[in-house]
Amino acid sequence: SSSSSSSSGHYSQLVGGAKIQYTFFDVFGGELNKMDALEQLTVEDMRAAIQNASGVRTTLFVSEDAFDGLASFQVQRFLAPALACVDQVYDQLREISALCLEAMSLKRFPSLSDALRDATENVLRTNKHITLKMVTALVHMHSAYINTKNADFQDAFRAQSQSVQSHTGSFYDTPSYNASSGIANGVAADGSTRSLHTPSTFPTYTAGTFGGSQSPHVSQRSNTISGSMTEREAQEIKLIRIALSCYFDNVKKTLQDSVPKAVMAFLVNTSKSSLQSELVNVLLRNYDVGDLMAESPEAIRRRAELTVLMKAINQALDVLRDVGTSSIQMD
């Protein structure tokens, strides 16, 4: 059972359902809360996304294609902590099953203990695989379709856009751009400065491609975003920053709720409800009952020793009774 119980004797650490809950809200939720919407993005990346989305056309408004591409890439970052959450809950279920097998005192029947352990592991592995697919699908759904008509997103975007327009610098000041370093610097509401660097693993945005690697037949210079940033580009990037932050936070909130639900539905509850019947079916179908109930050599040896000891004790008692009877007759 995934429910915590004081009978397990674990008072100094979380076990069972309490540990799973801690994984959901403290570990997984904490990892998502530490993730920033603008991490791994530079101003050069956003400028390239805007220009690639526009192509040869000149646009009057900020391209939603640029925002969709950037948002889709950033949302995919949620996949790693979501899959890690599944792995951690799976490990905790394995620990629970091991504790249950220990509590059953099956050392006398090693074959039965091994069969139960293998069958339980198989059930958990099967449900883990299904859960990983479901959690991956959850993240991919948010990445595949960027729903800008979501009411929560629109409310947050509208509020932050109005805040920036009326209070310059309340969210992000117009970012300064260093073309030589590719670093975007923004000033947050608390006055601190954020520097966003692009790691080596971040995909390169090149002319004519979005998220692809640079063609070896084209010189790097011809594909690099160069020149100083115009005022219009600064305004577009500011809007994209706000939109990315709002959408990222909206998806984050959704996944903090839906991923634990998926893990509970497809891993924890499914394993709990199907484990007993699955164990019975597997044990009766794949094993001989006589082999399962065969005792270990240690148990057989110990029983023989105790049998000999019991006979010796009975003989000693018989001798004592005989001595006692003889003493009474002599008196």
**CB contact set of 124 (below 8 Å; sequence gap of 6+):** 90, 93, 94, 97, 267, 271
3-state secondary structure the chain: CCCCCHHHCCCCCCCHHHHHHHHHHHHHHHHHHHCCCCCCCCHHHHHHHHHHHHCCCCCCCCCHHHHHHHHHHHHHHHHHHHHHHHHHHHHHHHHHHHHHHHHCCCCCCHHHHHHHHHHHHHHHHHHHHHHHHHHHHHHHHHHHCCCCCCHHHHHHHHHHHHHHHHCCCCCCCCCEEECCCCEEEEECCCCCEEEECCCCCCCCCCCCCCCCCCCCCCCCHHHCCCCCCCHHHHHHHHHHHHHHHHHHHHHHHHHHHHHHHHHHHHHHHHHHHHHHHHHHHHHHHHCCHHHHCCCCHHHHHHHHHHHHHHHHHHHHHHHHHHHHHHHHHHC
Using the Cα atoms of residue 148, residue 149, residue 153 and residue 159 in order, give the sign of their dihedral. positive
**CB contact set of 146 (below 8 Å; sequence gap of 6+):** 67, 68, 71, 72, 247
Q: Percent of the chain having pLDDT more than 70?
A: 67
Mean pLDDT of 162-179: 47
Residue 277 to residues 72, 115, 283, 287, 302, Cα–Cα distance (Å): 42, 14, 10, 15, 34
The Cα 86–Cα 107 span in angstroms is: 31
- pLDDT by residue (tens digit) across 13-35? 777 788 999 999 999 999 999 99
Weakest-pLDDT range from 11-25, 128-142, 165-179: 165-179
Contact 227, 57 (CB under 8 A): no
Mean pLDDT of 132-139: 96
> Does residue 322 surpass a pLDDT of 70?
yes
- pLDDT by residue (tens digit) across 259-294? 999 999 999 999 988 888 888 887 777 776 666 666
> Does residue 258 surpass a pLDDT of 60?
yes
pLDDT tier for residue 177 given thresholds of 50, 70 and 90: very low
pLDDT at 184: 39
The Cα 239–Cα 172 span in angstroms is: 10
pLDDT at 30: 93
pLDDT at 20: 92
- pLDDT by residue (tens digit) across 105-122? 777 777 777 888 888 999
Mean pLDDT of 29-45: 87
Count the neighbouring beta carbons within 10 Å of the beta carbon of residue 136. Answer: 14
The Cα 242–Cα 229 span in angstroms is: 18
